[in-house]
Structure 1
């Protein structure tokens, strides 16, 4: 697994080892990550990466956020409640020399506390497949005011996902056994 574009292009990231199998982490493949960022940076959705504050729910190894930082995002908060994931994120943030731009929030993504800071414009949502956790995490992020009006949500699952109230569908793509659903947070929803 490596960073596929931007300033850290080619950087090899730490991955789940044999002793970490119980952590059930499933990092986004390089191929899917590259396709997602090509879609995001293609101009169809503006420029959601450059200068963005990124919220990464179920961050796993941190690959999605680190890819965004490599491509010009300003800051990332990586939400991960597993100890193995937290360790891998910290190791990968150090490898990429992004300590000043990335921080781990060690909590359950489905039970986010209220956000006391500035809201995020880009959200990666990569839950364990088929358990309904993505829906719960997105609802929690919306309720806790983590997402700014007009924020873009990139939701990776085993199949296409339906928008939640307060979001609208922008696009759906399939990459083998991975479905990517792009949503936009409604202007009114993020303020209420």
Structure 2
């Protein structure tokens, strides 16, 4: 079991699959959400939780004021646990579970509402090329100024970010590292690229 740290469901326990996933530790989640709260990312956000496992990240976001969360998880056993967690917390109207591999899902366009916040917590042994393809496939799913957070191993270099994602921070916690990036949409014809909130003005 693990727990929701703060917000509406603060202190509530959620189940985790017995094997096959790597739940984000309380310490890392607390640091992650403290930064997101400080940057005013969560309130009313549409969240996309990739490689969701038990759903700890997306459920924490809902607890702290996100409007809705889409959870993408291919493992049937993990998806069953996640569905039970959604039911136990009573967030069925704001949570959508997609039982599919991440890459095909993103290639089909992703969630119906573009994501303001994306969590990606892939297995550490995912091939580097597959990881790069996943990051590249995010573009159609992102809202303007979306934030992408990738949880990764400190022992493995992250593939290069695609051109539309600007890295803004990298924070290590023992064996885990959180990479933060912001979406920089390409300028449409005749327009200059002027993001509403430049990456250098945000703090994480």
Q: TM-score, normalised by structure 1?
A: 0.88
Q: Could you tell me which residue of structure 2 aligns to residue 4 of structure 1?
A: 5
User: What does the per-residue CA deviation read over 1:88-137, in whole Å, with 9 as the maximum and x for residues that have no partner?
Assistant: 11011112111111011111112221247221110001000142344332
5+ long unaligned stretches in structure 2: 189-204
The structure with the larger Rg is 2
Q: Secondary structure at the match of 1:103?
A: strand
Residue-pair matches, total: 180
Contact 1:110 1:138 in 2 (8 A): no
- State whether structure 2 residue 133 is matched by structure 1 residue 140: no
5+ long unaligned stretches in structure 1: none
User: What does the per-residue CA deviation read over 1:139-181, in whole Å, with 9 as the maximum and x for residues that have no partner?
Assistant: 2222xx1111211001000036342221101100001110000
Contact 1:122 1:153 in 2 (8 A): yes
Alpha-carbon distance in structure 2 between the residues aligned to 1:106 and 1:8: 24
Q: Secondary structure at the match of 1:72?
A: coil
Alpha-carbon distance in structure 1 between the residues aligned to 2:11 and 2:93: 21
Contact 2:73 2:99 in 1 (8 A): yes
Q: Secondary structure at the match of 1:168?
A: strand
CA RMSD of aligned residues (A): 1.7
Alpha-carbon distance in structure 1 between the residues aligned to 2:103 and 2:45: 23
